[in-house]
Amino acid sequence: MTPHDEHPHVPGPSLWPVGFAVGIVVLLVGLIISWWLVAIGAAIALAFAFLWVRDLTTGTPLAHVPDVPPERPGASAAPANVGEAGAPLPAPGETYTRSGFLSASTLGIGGLIGGVVTVPTLGFMIAPAFLKQGVKDVDVGPLDKFPEGKYVVTTFTEDAQQGTVSRRTAFVRYNGQLNGLPSFTIISNHCAHLGCPVQPNGPLDQKGASEYHDVALVPTVSIAGFGCPCHGGQYDTEGNRTAGPPVRALDRYAYSIRNGKLFIGKPYSVAFVEGAGATAKIRKERFSFPGEHVNGIESWLYPVQPPH
């Protein structure tokens, strides 16, 4: 046996720690974006942690320990396996080393301590952003408040607990019946450029204005579309962009009808609208911030959004 063979080989570099770190990063990002991403990150971290620990605990077998140590000048100590206090030699083929056990124990205890310290802190920091984030449907009045074929500027409070900071304005038009059910077009007044308040391009019927609870309803006389006073964005009567810097059509609101009343629901973004009124075909997209493309290659350039 050569002197080189008397010492165990040091394990080579491993990619398992890198994968474990990537999994942790994905998990933390998922806490902000999506619980599905949290699950994926946790699965990646656990898988690579298992492989890492297995790699440490099943390393290179112990080298054979000679029965009689080589003579050294001036050495007088007895071998470690000689005497009453001597340690037994490892069994042939034994691979679980003390260094591997210590490494695994340190990793496990460190991970446990890190989790105990980190998870509650992250919970208090991030959890409030995910609590009570759902948008409640808002009752904006009986159906007879909305004349057919005319937009009604409807201002309502999205969340009564937040007060006036949650005041929103939408343009509501009754399109008549579609398949035996009332059809509505509900367009947001947030410009798709930078979110400025869009206005109808036409006069309002202030004499016909009314209120329903805390909802303000102002009918329009006639309009030729919508315009943004900030940067000149222009839209047609269906909300499609016709001029200016906006990158898409105006956002819309989902709606429902209950007991003869109109309820405004969650907003969603629109790439474009084909047709008009009740028979319009709407290219519906996930709700996005102003200025963001929602289709085409340009939409790939934006970062993943947190829930909003």
For the stretch 91-129, pLDDT in tens is 565 565 667 777 777 777 777 777 766 776 666 666 665
Using alpha carbons, list the distances in angstroms from residue 127 to 13, 32, 45, 116, 118. Answer: 38, 9, 21, 16, 13
For residues 137-161, average pLDDT: 92
Q: Would residue 297 count as lying in a domain?
A: yes
pLDDT at 213 over 70: yes
pLDDT at 133 over 60: no
Supply the pLDDT for residue 256: 95
Residue 143 shares a structural domain with residue 36:
no
pLDDT at 221 over 80: yes
Q: What is the dihedral of CA 17, 22, 26, 27, to 10 degrees?
A: 10
Supply the pLDDT for residue 282: 94
Q: Which of 96-100, 125-129, 210-214, 296-300 is the least confident region? A: 125-129
- The answer to whether 285 touches 268, Cβ cutoff 8 Å, is yes
- What residues make up the domain containing 273? 138-301
Q: Alpha-carbon distance 155 to 216, whole Å? A: 5
Residue 163 shares a structural domain with residue 104:
no
Residue 168 shares a structural domain with residue 244:
yes
Q: Alpha-carbon distance 238 to 225, whole Å? A: 8
pLDDT mean across residues, the chain: 81
| Structural domain count, the chain | 2
* 153-172: b (≥16 Cβ within 10 Å) or e: bbbbbeeeeeeeeeebbbbb
Supply the pLDDT for residue 220: 94
Q: Of 103, 130, 157, which marks where a domain is finished?
A: 130
Q: Which of 34-48, 109-123, 234-248, 257-271 is the least confident region? A: 109-123
